[in-house]
Structure 1
Amino acid sequence: MPGQAATAPIASQPWPKDAWYVAASADELTDRPLARTICGQPMVFFRGAEGQVVALEDFCPHRGAPLSLGFVRDGELVCGYHGLVMGCAGRATAMPGQRVEKFAAIRRLAVLERYGFLWVWPGDAETADPARLHHLEWAESPEWAYGGGYYHIDCDYRLMIDNLMDLTHETYVHSSSIGQKEIDEAPVETLVTGEEVITRRFMDGIEAPPFWKMALRGAGLPDEQPVDRWQICRFTLPSHVLIEVGVAIAGKGGYQAEDRWKASSIVVDFITPETETSHHYFWGMARRFAVADKDLTDTIRSGQGTIFGEDLEMLERQQANLLRYPERRLMKLNIDAGGVRSRLMIHRAIAAEREPEPEAV
């Protein structure tokens, strides 16, 4: 009818596109192109002549070969199939014995290098806003040390968010490292503050589990005394979970204790969708104790890698089950509130991107 907005059918989209996702750690990008599929889009990353990061769609306009199978020369990307040269703007600049100035351009994506990571904006590059990238104090402060790694995981990225926003599973999946029965017994609180979903629990006067005994020793604190432990999970769009974790000698103030009485850290979880059933998982730990101890950084990284490897197996098998039985409805309990609220925030972000613009009358 005249005057009504047109409403076109919208394809399924399981992730926000107008957002910054971690594409790689900065040290992954060497002198060769790096291929990565993000939010269903094959991309290729390389460095231009000035050392700047460039992200293009991984598609050669000549014959459709993946540009990531080529090489970088003088800050441009050379296709490994027939030698077509692609410039940083996504346009062909040369090809042996051929004129290529009329070749159609390929898509260039907005990309940033910050905090030791490469961040890509899968949506329209013209709308990419660097101010929407979260500030990460621990990544640029000498008062923090960081060590981390990467896993490719064959499951829906939202299953990982569920996992991280409900740490009850630690008692069972990670029983030999960070799990303990007190996690089950401590009440969990879930709240939404602005653009953040928070779940948190505090456990006072307990024995530290093995991983945290190691951390106490690394902080120069006794590991046999009772401790106060905390877990504060913070989800932010599009799919980041940062978890404040730590232990303090019991009776010294718990989460609010002075640094000299505690081992305090942030578990870093950057979860980047690849396909509807796979994602890139960039994990690590930033800590505020013994920051100059590189051996401790390596020890914590190794321990974390083992812990997250246990999650990997559980999540991939969970995904396989969900695909096998798509008609089954899953139960929701109070401990699932953080994941449910996070998914709702993701859903609303996707819906906002889908909102059709009114047709001119």
Structure 2
Amino acid sequence: MSTVQAHSLANEVRSPSAMPSFPLNQWYVAGLAWELKDKPVGRTLLNKPIVLFRSADGQPAALEDRCCHRALPLSHGTLEEGGVRCGYHGLLFDSAGLCIEVPGQTRIPGKAKIPTYHVRERDQILWIWFGSSEHSEPTCEPPAYEFHSNGEYLFEGDVYHYDAPYQLIHDNLLDLSHLGYVHLRTIGGNASIHMNAQMRVESDDTSVRVIRHMPDSVPPPTYTAAYPFEGRVDRWQEIEFRVSHLRIWTGAIDAGTDSLENPARGGFHMRGFHGVTPETETTSHYFWTMATNPKSNASEVKAKVVEQTALTFDEDKVVIEAQYKNMVTFGPQPMVDIHVDVGANRARKIIEQLRQASC
């Protein structure tokens, strides 16, 4: 195991009081667009308690989740046309963090303001900027995710909370060989085929791409329930990692009907978006969506795919949280690498390099 990986794994079993070490100057996922309705949403991201809400014009806003009067979380308050009203003494704050009303008095104290965060909504994903002191303003726009908005796919998603560090979720998503053991009832399939899949890994300074091909396979239960395959299939898994999120394109075509190198290939598609945002050093938020391309019975197939996806993520959550609990129990221990760990190991190196660069 590399020195960087050993350092990262050791950090995961540190005391929660240890200093945070997350890469900055990044857009992280703060939520999914449909979460912002008629109530403020409180969420801790990168150790920062934040309240999310929509302004009167429908734009998302993000403030520090603390009233400057008596420190009640603003997420305990209510939403009004002007902004968020504190649930203790009723101070009203707009989306710029300025107090615009103090019940019972006309003068508003000049210091009555709340720190704000840059937040953007794009393709129904809410992004929040965490910058260093040198880059408090965003240096770029948040990523696009066209599969939510191009009309070719149907999708849904959800939010999970993990009692485990965020890099363990990265590890899980970058290594889909576990499908044959953890997800037998849904997207799994033959474990031997998964472990022996043709695999190549590409990477640069900010990303990792893992491509796995499983030609002439038996389609797993989720696939046969969603698509009219004729028999055996050629199956693929393409994973793209960045610090704040992963894109995973999986699917299959009838065996021998097209090339798995063809980016326009047809067949059954599952395009997963995975926003992985640390809450603290030892807990995480996982924002996921699954988009698919039903050939018929669109609503029924989408519901089936989303249901099966949720079942797989339930299974992953059990494994990852049990894994971390055991890591805490045993303390820092050396870990043996095998061939399926290449992508995850490269991702950990990227995170460490970006963390050091943003200190």
Tell me whether the two structures share a fold, i.e. TM-score over 0.5.
yes
TM-score, normalised with respect to structure 1: 0.87
1:129–1:139: structure 2 CA closer, same or farther, 3 Å change rule? farther
What corresponds to 1:159 in structure 2?
168
Q: Does 1:174 align with 2:183?
A: yes
Amino acid of the residue matched to residue 236 of structure 2?
A: W
| Counterpart mapping for 1:336-351 below 5 A | 336-351=341-356
Q: Which stretch shows the higher mean deviation, 82-91 or 193-202?
A: 193-202
What corresponds to 1:122 in structure 2?
130
TM-score, normalised with respect to structure 2: 0.88
Please list the CA deviations of residues 151-172 of structure 1 after superposition, one character each: whole Å capped at 9, or x if unmatched. 1111101000000001111111
Please list the CA deviations of residues 219-265 of structure 1 after superposition, one character each: whole Å capped at 9, or x if unmatched. xx43xx111111111101x2311111111111112424697852123
Amino acid of the residue matched to residue 119 of structure 2?
A: V
Between structure 1 and structure 2, the one with the greater Rg is 1
**Among 281, 303, 309, which residue is 1:298 paired with?**
303
Aligned residues: 337
SS at structure 2 position matched to 1:314: helix
What corresponds to 2:111 in structure 1?
103
Deviation at 1:319, TM superposition (A): 1.1
Please list the CA deviations of residues 120-176 of structure 1 after superposition, one character each: whole Å capped at 9, or x if unmatched. 113368421442x22222122112222222211111010000000011111111122
State how far apart, in whole Å, the 1-side matches of 2:245 and 2:296 are.
24
| Counterpart mapping for 1:1-361 below 5 A | 12-98=19-105, 99-123=107-131, 126-131=136-141, 133-179=142-188, 180-181=190-191, 182-193=193-204, 195-217=206-228, 221-222=229-230, 225-236=231-242, 238-256=243-261, 262-290=267-295, 293-354=298-359
Unmatched runs of 5 consecutive residues or more in structure 1:
1-10, 355-361
Contact kept? 1:58, 1:66, Cα under 8 Å:
yes
Contact kept? 2:122, 2:144, Cα under 8 Å:
no
Amino acid of the residue matched to residue 146 of structure 2?
A: E
Amino acid of the residue matched to residue 262 of structure 1?
A: G
State how far apart, in whole Å, the 1-side matches of 2:95 and 2:125 are.
20
Amino acid of the residue matched to residue 206 of structure 1?
A: S
Identical aligned pairs, as a percentage?
34
State how far apart, in whole Å, the 2-side matches of 1:216 and 1:73 are.
46
Amino acid of the residue matched to residue 44 of structure 1?
A: V
What corresponds to 1:7 in structure 2?
none
Deviation at 1:64, TM superposition (A): 1.0
1:53–1:258: structure 2 CA closer, same or farther, 3 Å change rule? closer
Deviation at 1:329, TM superposition (A): 1.9
Contact kept? 1:38, 1:122, Cα under 8 Å:
no
Please list the CA deviations of residues 166-213 of structure 1 after superposition, one character each: whole Å capped at 9, or x if unmatched. 111111111222222210122422221463201121111121111121
Contact kept? 1:17, 1:39, Cα under 8 Å:
no
State how far apart, in whole Å, the 1-side matches of 2:64 and 2:296 are.
39
Unmatched runs of 5 consecutive residues or more in structure 2:
1-17
1:272–1:292: structure 2 CA closer, same or farther, 3 Å change rule? farther
Contact kept? 1:42, 1:57, Cα under 8 Å:
yes
1:130–1:201: structure 2 CA closer, same or farther, 3 Å change rule? same
State how far apart, in whole Å, the 2-side matches of 1:292 and 1:195 are.
40
